[in-house]
Amino acid sequence: MILLKIVFLILEGEVIKMAQFIIETSARHIHVTKETLEALFGEGAELTIRKMLSQPGQFASGEKLEVVGPKGVLKASILGPVRKENQVELSYSDARTIGVVAPLRESGDVKGSAPCTLRNPENGKEVVIQEGVIIAKRHVHMTPADAETFNVSNGEIVNVKVVNETGRAIIFGDTVVRVSPTYALAMHVDTDEANAGALSGVVYGEIVK
């Protein structure tokens, strides 16, 4: 089966392309619960869709909040749909700017992470969250079929080489493979990581062992 795939790929001249995936840069963003959304925007409030994202069903909303820390404030978009837990994903630079010491975590792993205040700049309403601020571990989303193609499994840690010529050649170690049928193939890095590799425009990566 795997041999057949390789032969097919060579015949199609698609060897390189099929072995690569897009690397997307996630700017700082916020996921909120329905309760937090209503506390900040009013009862029955819903997120408006500004732009659909690569992961199926996920979108950048038109709603922005201020993330307030002991030393500063940064604005960030809310990504939808609403979730079961609040989560604020910052870069290390962002966290330093607002004076928050946030742990490096996989998305969704917020227990015992850093606190902050979320504020709606339009009406001044605030919600204090006791945990939820993290620095997201870089990761590659893939479907089970992709995982078979790349010969990796959920939770595996891989190295990803950026294949574009950026002038800042870089291999990202400690990259988590996240496999789910609900995902689409894409790697996510934060703005610090993108800047470290001078990533801009459409950039591709490949797994190097």
List of residues contacting Zn ion (CB under 5 A): 188
Smallest distance, Å, CB 26 to Zn ion? 7
Nearer to Zn ion by Cβ, of 115 and 204: the residue is 204
Smallest distance, Å, CB 141 to Zn ion? 5
- Give the C-alpha separation, 145 to 120, whole Å: 41
Nearer to Zn ion by Cβ, of 23 and 127: the residue is 23
- Give the C-alpha separation, 200 to 119, whole Å: 31
CA 148 to chain centre: 22
- Give the C-alpha separation, 45 to 147, whole Å: 38
Smallest distance, Å, CB 130 to Zn ion? 24
Smallest distance, Å, CB 195 to Zn ion? 18
Q: How many CB atoms lie within 10 A of CB 77?
A: 18
Dihedral sign of CA atoms 56, 106, 203, 61 in order: positive
Nearer to Zn ion by Cβ, of 119 and 188: the residue is 188
Decide if 127 contacts 115 (C-beta within 8 A).
no
Smallest distance, Å, CB 176 to Zn ion? 10
Point out the residue whose Cβ comes nearest to Zn ion: 188
Decide if 134 contacts 116 (C-beta within 8 A).
no
Nearer to Zn ion by Cβ, of 55 and 93: the residue is 55
Nearer to Zn ion by Cβ, of 86 and 120: the residue is 86
